[in-house]
Structure 1
Amino acid sequence: MTTMTEASVREFKMPDVGEGLTEAEILKWYVQPGDTVTDGQVVCEVETAKAAVELPIPYDGVVRALHFPEGTTVDVGMSIIAVDVTGGAGDAPVAEVPAQAAAQTQATPEPMPEAPVAEAPKAQAAKSVGSGRQPVLVGYGVAVSSTKRRPRKGTEIAVPRVPDTVQAELNGHGGGPAVKERPLAKPPVRKLAKDLGVDLATVVPSGPDGVITREDVHAAAAPAAPAAPAAPAAPEAETVPQVPQATATASAAVSVPAYDTARETRVPVKGVRKATAAAMVGSAFTAPHVTEFVTIDVTRTLKLVEELKQDKDMQGLRVNPLLLIAKALLVALKRNPEINASWDEAAQEIVVKHYVNLGIAAATPRGLLVPNIKDAHAKTLPQLAESLGELVSTAREGRTSPAAMQGGTVTITNVGVFGVDTGTPILNPGESAILAIGAIKLQPWVHKGKVKPRQVTTLALSFDHRLVDGELGSRVLADVAAILEQPKKLITWG
């Protein structure tokens, strides 16, 4: 079989499409082996911990192989697609990639050409440094590293650990000291092991492909239990979800039943939902939250919304109560700039921002996203309306970029769209305040000495009590409330 020269095949690697992301899930391939691609053409869509992103190919050629099927989570820096840059339609495919690769990727990912198992880590590192890693997208350079690739889901090829004695011989030491392989574990697990005083080298891994889990560390840190005969493996183990070893060994005499798929559905926590969960836990247990509430009459604000919809300067723009609430918050921040800040734990400083990147919490099928409007404080009302419309539309379509969710300073969350009166919102990490808007309802209200039906809502402001005291938080919430009750203050205060 004729094969193509290594120089004619380019490997497109998974880029870091955010800041410090380590992996991404392939959502959809737009090309298949045999397709012709051009520089800048989008070849796939991936989901990171922050957003869904389309990846363009950086060169011309013919697709020879897709290394991972849709739904696979891939480490940053790993090759995901091979392209023959000679572009010859009659060229033979790469020997490692069968012609029917497109059909096979739906079941089992085609393995990438890799170094043999017997190759020593030192040799691999030398090869990596010698060849260097290439930037795969404009603006996203990648550094030389020895990051260990995660074995792909669905493959049946198990790569065993190299024995220490063999490793020593491969390194050219003969009978010299063996090079001990570092246990596989994620950074949070390593920190947990350090806090509990557990040596990871002594922990028996139960995760996929020998990865040590949190349960493994807790099991190793627990007092040793009397030895008991291990329970026999259930014959249907291949058809039920894997049970962590820490759970199985906690009571060796009791078998763990499989869950009923007709009564339960298990959804893997990954991507945006995983990142959101970690961020909310970190925020809730790092920043001391305080939430204050105020119920107000917003009848005049709603009347102004209707008037603005007829204004020629606002034609074609999204005009709704959220627009005026956002403007009211921006005016309140201008009057009380100390709340537009963040806490720098490392430097033990309060960082006051002289700009407002206004975040808008948006519920999407992939989870909660908080993109922000850059320099919202400097925008006119029509400009703010245009930015809000673009932000909401992009978020609902799942096209929010990672850059749009970075650098926020304060956030608005509208729980009223779900008919909820109010809530205690959790701060977006790195910010000191978040304003929740409740449902606007027609209620009896004392207006000019008489009880009348008025449009009423409740606002809730959560803030970081390390840098925002009760007085400052109350002033900001009171200012927002005053503007929404008397919208003319947008002129007198703005």
Structure 2
Amino acid sequence: MPVKEFKLPDVGEGVAEGELVSWLVAPGDRVEEDQPVAEVETDKALVEVPSRYDGTVEELFVEEGDIVPVGDVIISFRVGEGDEGGEATAESDADTTETEGDATEPVVDTGTGADADPDTDAREPATPSGRTFAPPSARRLARELGVDIAAVDGSGPGGRIGEADVRAHAEGGAGDADATDSGSDEAPAPTPTDVGSGGRTSAVKKRGGDGTAEGSATTAVASDAPEPAGRETTLATPATRKVARELGVDVDDVPTDETRDGEAFVTGEDVRAYAEALESGESPEAEASEATVEGSAPEPEPVDASPTPPDSTDETVPYRGVRRTIGKQMERSKFTAPHVTHHDTAEVDALVEAREELKPRAEEEGVTLTYMPFVMKAIVAGLKEYPSLNSELREDDEEIVLKGDYNLGIAVATDAGLMVPVVEDVDEKGLFELAEEVSDLASRARERKLKPAEMKGGTFSITNFGAIGGEYATPIINYPETAILGLGAVEERPVVRDGEVVAAPTLPLSLSIDHRVIDGAVAAEFANSVMEHLEHPLLLLTQ
């Protein structure tokens, strides 16, 4: 059965890479075409990546948390498992299979034909789960070495067993037997699990002409600098290879304890530890080698390649994905558009009363009515009167584009950072329709289910920091827009009426503008228009 590799597709316009947040499948799982197999976070949203094949997951090539460029292989599938094949041989690609009925006695395909001699058909016992994940080459090697494949601990994703795992298991058993027979007090010869950096497995090996792994790990010799591993093939994630390039290290020279299907697998920590050892001139495997030569297996020591001191309480958080995009966007806006912020306060007694009157009707229609739809309609009224706030400055063309659409972005705080879904054509929608759409977009933003297209095309933005607490702020414009309105909390505050100080519900407003396009006087007039429509909500019926 053929194995199909699946590359990370373009999951959004202009997206060059993404962080693999989580795998939704594991090796051995059956998948169908269009079934989601992974969640990938881009600089715009969290998206699910669907499979393009019907088949079984063969291998995962990327770890959760890795940054993967678009076009890199992330997973492989074994397809065509339902096809009727010819007589199986020891060289077939058949993998572990299960019978449909009896889950307590699964039948494990050993790779021999149906007409094979029963005496030569060494059936492998199954794992407790009924499955043993191993490629045909590892199973064939296990039969040759007399190893029970079900007893081997796999080091690959999902416990997948590779050739190196089989050899390590076989050599470990042989070493114990030799030591017992000889009666020697000396420790058995080191196996691949005995040597390496800090007592870890060494995966140094080369492939012969037939594709099988040859040779075994050897003890490193202490020297002034670590000896390069000198492998011909090394598996590593794109993020690890990037670290290696930055540190000037060849991943084929980095000692490692991990393997994936018989190939050495190098992590970012391995690369950093090797680079530090090169700088200090000390071999990372010298201590393990000396202990082995003296005849006692070294105790595994935890390896901490973190640059942070062990007693530090600092925590390092990756600056990437949505958080990095927010940072770049804010930096671009703040250092491109000269910001000016205008503050004012609307007295919203009538607005509070209007909302209270409409809430029962909204609930009958299954809608939660907030103040946001009223504010959106008031903003559109102001934008129609002062179109320069619904604009974009195109510096290269030396022109200001006054937008004919009224698409308002609503800033939503999420665990991943601030997202701004866009409500299109606000001028053509009613209060209840706007309330329902805002609620839906905000909910999907927090669940990371927004599509990239739903965060594009805004002409003016709103940020409601009053929902968390506070009255005034200096919002940063959602560039290339030219204005953004910040809302404080609707609360009773002291106001002066007829010469007396009374408590009344008020709404603080903070309007930031791009001063290259909008004058301060125009900003104040726009704010006055918005406040007028909020203080007299019947005016919204004219919009």
Classify the TM-score, shorter chain: 0.5 to 0.7
Aligned counterpart, 2:98: none
Aligned counterpart, 1:241: 306
Q: How far apart are the structure 2 equivalents of 1:72 and 1:356?
A: 39
1:333: Cα distance to partner?
1.3
Q: Is there any run of 5+ residues in structure 1 with no aligned partner, and where?
A: 111-116, 118-148, 163-206, 211-229, 243-256
Secondary structure in structure 2 of the residue aligned to 1:488: helix
1:346: Cα distance to partner?
2.0
Match of 1:412 among 427, 439, 462: 462
Q: How far apart are the structure 2 equivalents of 1:97 and 1:291?
A: 67
The aligned runs of 1:92-107 (5 Å cut-off) are 92=95, 104-105=156-157
- Which letter maps to 1:431? E
Match of 1:266 among 316, 322, 328: 316
- Say if 1:24 and 1:271, in contact at 8 Å, map to a contact too: yes
Match status 1:350 vs 2:415: no
- Say if 2:27 and 2:59, in contact at 8 Å, map to a contact too: yes
Aligned counterpart, 2:187: none
Match status 1:91 vs 2:101: no
Q: 1:97 to 1:321 in 2, by over 3 A?
A: farther
1:293: Cα distance to partner?
0.7
TM-score (normalizing by structure 2): 0.62
Q: 1:86 to 1:411 in 2, by over 3 A?
A: same
Q: How far apart are the structure 2 equivalents of 1:208 and 1:422?
A: 49
Match status 1:284 vs 2:374: no
The aligned runs of 1:342-491 (5 Å cut-off) are 342-491=392-541
Match status 1:160 vs 2:160: no
Q: How far apart are the structure 1 equivalents of 2:400 and 2:270?
A: 43
Q: 1:473 to 1:364 in 2, by over 3 A?
A: same
Q: How far apart are the structure 1 equivalents of 2:536 and 2:350?
A: 7
Q: How far apart are the structure 2 equivalents of 1:343 and 1:234?
A: 59
- Say if 2:3 and 2:78, in contact at 8 Å, map to a contact too: yes
Aligned counterpart, 1:10: 4
TM-score (normalizing by structure 1): 0.68
- Which letter maps to 2:467? V
Secondary structure in structure 1 of the residue aligned to 2:502: strand
Q: How far apart are the structure 2 equivalents of 1:240 and 1:362?
A: 37
Higher relative contact order (CA 8 A, sep 6+): 1
- Which letter maps to 1:55? V
- Say if 1:427 and 1:462, in contact at 8 Å, map to a contact too: yes
1:452: Cα distance to partner?
2.1
Q: How far apart are the structure 2 equivalents of 1:96 and 1:334?
A: 71
Match of 2:28 among 34, 40, 45: 34
Aligned counterpart, 1:150: 238
Deviations 1:238-286 (A, max 9, x none): 62534xxxxxxxxxxxxxx83743x221211111111101110111000
Aligned counterpart, 1:50: 44
Q: 1:396 to 1:151 in 2, by over 3 A?
A: closer
Deviations 1:392-448 (A, max 9, x none): 111122212211111211110001012111100001121111000012221221235
- Say if 2:27 and 2:158, in contact at 8 Å, map to a contact too: no
- Which letter maps to 1:306? E
Secondary structure in structure 1 of the residue aligned to 2:432: helix
Q: How far apart are the structure 2 equivalents of 1:427 and 1:107?
A: 50
Q: 1:237 to 1:59 in 2, by over 3 A?
A: closer
Q: How far apart are the structure 2 equivalents of 1:281 and 1:79?
A: 33
Q: Is there any run of 5+ residues in structure 2 with no aligned partner, and where?
A: 84-92, 96-133, 140-148, 163-205, 207-236, 253-268, 273-278, 285-300
Q: How far apart are the structure 1 equivalents of 2:479 and 2:383?
A: 19
- Say if 1:313 and 1:382, in contact at 8 Å, map to a contact too: no
- Which letter maps to 1:460? S
Match of 1:76 among 70, 78, 98: 70
Q: How far apart are the structure 2 equivalents of 1:32 and 1:485?
A: 58
Secondary structure in structure 2 of the residue aligned to 1:310: helix
Of 365-374 and 95-104, the range deviating more from structure 2: 95-104
- Which letter maps to 1:241? S
Q: 1:39 to 1:159 in 2, by over 3 A?
A: farther
Q: 1:64 to 1:287 in 2, by over 3 A?
A: same
Match status 1:62 vs 2:150: no
The aligned runs of 1:198-347 (5 Å cut-off) are 239-242=304-307, 258=309, 260-261=311-312, 263-311=313-361, 315-347=365-397
Over aligned residues, Cα RMSD in angstroms? 3.7
Q: How far apart are the structure 2 equivalents of 1:159 and 1:231?
A: 15
1:462: Cα distance to partner?
0.5
Q: 1:421 to 1:240 in 2, by over 3 A?
A: farther
Secondary structure in structure 2 of the residue aligned to 1:276: helix
- Say if 1:314 and 1:382, in contact at 8 Å, map to a contact too: no
Q: How far apart are the structure 2 equivalents of 1:404 and 1:67?
A: 31
Q: How far apart are the structure 2 equivalents of 1:97 and 1:68?
A: 22
